[in-house]
Structure 1
Amino acid sequence: MKLKTNLLSVISLILLLACSPPSEKETTAKEIFAISEVPKRELREVTFSGSGYELGMQHGQFFKKEIGEIVFKWRESVKDQLEREADEVLKEFFAYADFEGSIKKWTPDLYEEVRGIADGSGQDFDQIMVFNLLDEFWVYLNSIENHHCSNIGVPSVNGGLSNIAQNMDIEPYTDGYQTLFRIEATAERPEQLVLSHPGLIALNGMNSSGVGMIMNTIMQLNASNSGLPVAFVVRKVLSSTDKDEIIKFITSINHASGQNYILGVRGEVFNFEASANRVVRFDPGNKNQTVYHTNHPIVNDDVKPWFAEYNPNEIADTIPITSNSYIRLAALTTRIADRNAVTDDHIKDALRSKDDANNPVCRSVDPKKNGFTFASVVMTLTGEPYLQITAGPPSESEYFTVTFSN
């Protein structure tokens, strides 16, 4: 077993002044605690080697303390949001969830990795598995307001660089646990850089062959309680190098949750809206060949009946274009679509943007809202691939460059 750590200094102050503070009368003890306890941010880079259960055991043992902390915070968050005990919610969720068959069929090594994390950290298997069913748990809760990821894809044009980039927005209790896993290469897979937090196998990532994957939830699309969950899709893709094989995989599997995937394979970029019943490629037709996405369907009409107003085939005045996701998509479009050449500086400016104060692309921690920009990534997939990453919102943290070992 080979294990090493490296702290990338990404410490910055939390700019809570950007949010309107509640009056003294309105400020609760809970809100005061949340504000005062926001941690300074460090991006931890940790290297793991091996496969399957061995990878998970290293992960669980190394992050045993942090995983225990996140388990506690997750349970408190569930209790606070749902006003129910976490054990009761977990029991009901796993009575609904039937993902094990798909996970073992498509990614048996990753199932073993999750089992290793649970054993190494001394946590219950279901508790660790629910961390790795992040999007699927959101789908189960059916809350459309908690999802705010913003993604950009830039292919190589006339020999230029190719980038895919994302603001990864998740729950505030994860702040302070920003982690970059470096998964060493084997004969079967390339080296990988994976954004995550302790206990979770992946949020997004890239590999040393120039393959990268970012994604964002599309809650409105039909889901499957027996499909392949998002984290497992991501890690499966990152273990591959062949474009055709990857695209066949993405377009043929049964997806567990409605999701938009931006896939970068060296100089090419592909955007797929995936639901339980179909996968549709989205291309806005820009001259610069860029793509971008937020959290609503643009081309896939496999929409849940109770989200019918989001069907992209409906007449324009029935679509809720003043909602958060549409406003953020407009901000990305304005900043990216018409540029002759899109550089990583243009991408970073877009990911830092707060053009609409109530619906920003970049989200600071707000104790009254369930979601913030956990990290921002810009992956360069041509030439010698490398990653630029922040811990926390990019408006508050500088991007640091991380390269591959080889």
Structure 2
Amino acid sequence: MKRREFLFGTTAAATAAAIIPNLWSCKKDEECPTPESQAHFNYLEVSGTHHDIGKQIGTRFSKEIIASRMAISKLVNDAKEIVQAAPEIFYDPFLEASQNHFPDYIDELHGIADGSGISFQDIMIGNMAIEILFLASKLGNNNKYSLPSSYGCSSTAYSKNGKMFLTHNEDLFTSFLSYMYLLKIKVTGKPEILTLSYPGLLPGIPPGMNEAGIVQCGNDIQGLHVEPSVPMAFLFRSVLDSTSIDDAVDRAKFPHRARTMTHNIGSFNENKIVSVEAAPTKNQSHNVDGFYVHTNHFILPEMLDIVLNPLGLPSSESRFNKLTAMSGEYADKPNDVNGDLITSFMASHEGELPPCVHDHDTASTLSHSVFDFQEKNWKLYYSNPCLNNSKIINLI
């Protein structure tokens, strides 16, 4: 291994919040550990069983895991409070579904818990916090829990005349820029994986690729329909274990899901890009031909009747329209299209909430990715694409 009774607005809720200490191992008046500074994403190679790799990740990045959770303590404390009040509604069903369908990934989380010194339950809550909060909103018939408008990713794909690119801006909490890491994962009998990862979460939510030539990035969709089933993190992790584009798409369409999401998947070896919009009730896929833009709302015809949170990610349509307009100017100019051109679209600062986000309402573009299907590589930018801090990574 290389270094590199549910509570809706009651006084009990306030009391519970008051007695919950800092959730991720930092006690009151105790200073959280400071992760190492970095010029690009810290890197780690791990191998072994699923529990082994989780433990190696948890051990190496324990400071990052603890510090990142402290940075978003309001969110994780809200989720913990809800679980403590009614675990049979907000924890047990998610855990049971995950254990039944993806026991290997539960083992990974046990490993992360063992390595980091954080309880498994707290690690599991971190991997399903959004599902917990959105289910609480659904059952409470309110929109109490929704993410700020600038918390949304943007993707632009292109497939024409032998040229293929899948690009992505990964946007979330600004504080996470110092805590994310790049992992090379080898589990016996499964494809080797190279992926960005959020601290303490299953690898695969940010962009990644594997040695079978599968690449993936995703767009969060804040659908109002939430089921107590498999959380999003497990499904993104599953796609990274796929061995072909058909296998990856099947995994992305997995029916036992808790909430809505979009997987943008490509295959270097099969020269194909497919976008899968998925909800607990149905899904639809689209084979990319020409330019294809996706942000944080459904756009495929069969998915337009899925009810989304109107307060969630209002910048999605703005970013979608901007990227569609910019790419549309090159729809009939295939000779001019390349990865740098698409990166210039993703680096746009035009509009109140543009594709390239700089610490707006505590959110930023944390990374930019360009998967080049001809070169079979990944150009990974640290932070905003406009800053041009990139490395080219090869896996296959």
TM-score, normalised relative to structure 2? 0.78
2:369 counterpart of 1:370: no
| Aligned residue identity for 1:294 | T
2:100 counterpart of 1:96: no
Helix, strand or coil for the counterpart of 2:167? Answer: strand
| Aligned residue identity for 2:232 | V
- 1:325 equivalent in structure 2: 316
Is this contact kept in 1: 2:378–2:392, CA < 8 A? yes
Is this contact kept in 2: 1:386–1:402, CA < 8 A? yes
**CA 85–217 in structure 1, closer or farther in 2 if over 3 Å, else same:** closer
More divergent stretch after superposition (141-150 vs 217-226): 141-150
2:9 counterpart of 1:5: no
Residues in 2 aligned to 1:93 and 1:329: alpha-carbon distance in whole angstroms: 38
Gapped runs of 5+ residues in structure 2? 5-36, 138-144
Residues in 2 aligned to 1:108 and 1:216: alpha-carbon distance in whole angstroms: 25
Deviation at 1:220, TM superposition (A): 3.1
- 2:355 equivalent in structure 1: 361
RMSD over aligned CA atoms reads 2.8
Residues in 2 aligned to 1:389 and 1:306: alpha-carbon distance in whole angstroms: 31
Residues in 2 aligned to 1:137 and 1:159: alpha-carbon distance in whole angstroms: 43
- 2:174 equivalent in structure 1: 172
Q: How many pairs are equivalent?
A: 344
2:396 counterpart of 1:400: no
2:196 counterpart of 1:195: yes
- 2:60 equivalent in structure 1: 62
Is this contact kept in 1: 2:236–2:252, CA < 8 A? no
| Aligned ranges 1:76-155 → 2 under 5 Å | 77-78=74-75, 87-92=80-85, 94=87, 95-97=89-91, 98-133=93-128, 135-137=130-132, 139-140=134-135, 142-146=145-149, 147-155=151-159
2:371 counterpart of 1:379: yes
| Aligned residue identity for 2:100 | K
**CA 347–138 in structure 1, closer or farther in 2 if over 3 Å, else same:** farther
Is this contact kept in 1: 2:223–2:259, CA < 8 A? no
- 1:336 equivalent in structure 2: 327
- 2:48 equivalent in structure 1: 50
Residues in 1 aligned to 2:377 and 2:105: alpha-carbon distance in whole angstroms: 24
Is this contact kept in 1: 2:225–2:280, CA < 8 A? yes
Deviation at 1:51, TM superposition (A): 2.3
- 1:292 equivalent in structure 2: 293
Deviation at 1:325, TM superposition (A): 1.0
Write the deviation string for residues 67-99 of structure 1: whole angstroms up to 9, x where unpaired: 222232232x438xxxx7674245358542422
Write the deviation string for residues 223-279 of structure 1: whole angstroms up to 9, x where unpaired: 3221x2222112211111122222223224222221111111221111121111010
Deviation at 1:45, TM superposition (A): 1.3
Helix, strand or coil for the counterpart of 1:326? Answer: helix
Deviation at 1:214, TM superposition (A): 0.9
Gapped runs of 5+ residues in structure 1? 7-38, 311-319
Residues in 1 aligned to 2:193 and 2:374: alpha-carbon distance in whole angstroms: 15
- 1:231 equivalent in structure 2: 233
Write the deviation string for residues 21-78 of structure 1: whole angstroms up to 9, x where unpaired: xxxxxxxxxxxxxxxxxx7653111111112111111111111222222232232x43
Is this contact kept in 2: 1:294–1:329, CA < 8 A? yes
**CA 242–394 in structure 1, closer or farther in 2 if over 3 Å, else same:** same
Residues in 1 aligned to 2:85 and 2:366: alpha-carbon distance in whole angstroms: 28
Helix, strand or coil for the counterpart of 1:345? Answer: helix
Write the deviation string for residues 126-169 of structure 1: whole angstroms up to 9, x where unpaired: 221233225535634641534321012223x3333x22221111
Helix, strand or coil for the counterpart of 2:148? Answer: helix
Is this contact kept in 1: 2:167–2:371, CA < 8 A? yes
Q: Report runs of 4+ in structure 1 exceeding 6 Å deviation.
A: none
Residues in 2 aligned to 1:281 and 1:212: alpha-carbon distance in whole angstroms: 16
2:263 counterpart of 1:269: no
Helix, strand or coil for the counterpart of 1:219? Answer: coil
| Aligned residue identity for 2:180 | Q
Deviation at 1:282, TM superposition (A): 4.4
Deviation at 1:296, TM superposition (A): 1.4
Residues in 2 aligned to 1:337 and 1:346: alpha-carbon distance in whole angstroms: 12
Residues in 2 aligned to 1:152 and 1:213: alpha-carbon distance in whole angstroms: 12
- 1:15 equivalent in structure 2: none
Helix, strand or coil for the counterpart of 1:195? Answer: strand
Is this contact kept in 2: 1:221–1:302, CA < 8 A? no
- 1:13 equivalent in structure 2: none
Is this contact kept in 1: 2:134–2:224, CA < 8 A? no
**CA 374–381 in structure 1, closer or farther in 2 if over 3 Å, else same:** same
State the structure with bigger RCO (CA 8 A, min sep 6), 1 or 2.
1
Deviation at 1:344, TM superposition (A): 0.5
Which of 252, 256, 262 is equivalent to 2:258? 256
| Aligned residue identity for 1:125 | F
Residues in 2 aligned to 1:277 and 1:167: alpha-carbon distance in whole angstroms: 28
Write the deviation string for residues 165-188 of structure 1: whole angstroms up to 9, x where unpaired: 2111111231311311111363x2
Residues in 2 aligned to 1:168 and 1:212: alpha-carbon distance in whole angstroms: 15
Is this contact kept in 2: 1:135–1:257, CA < 8 A? no
| Aligned residue identity for 1:143 | S
| Aligned residue identity for 1:237 | V
| Aligned residue identity for 2:253 | T
| Aligned residue identity for 1:67 | I
Which of 343, 351, 375 is equivalent to 1:348? 343
Is this contact kept in 2: 1:210–1:381, CA < 8 A? no
Is this contact kept in 2: 1:278–1:302, CA < 8 A? no
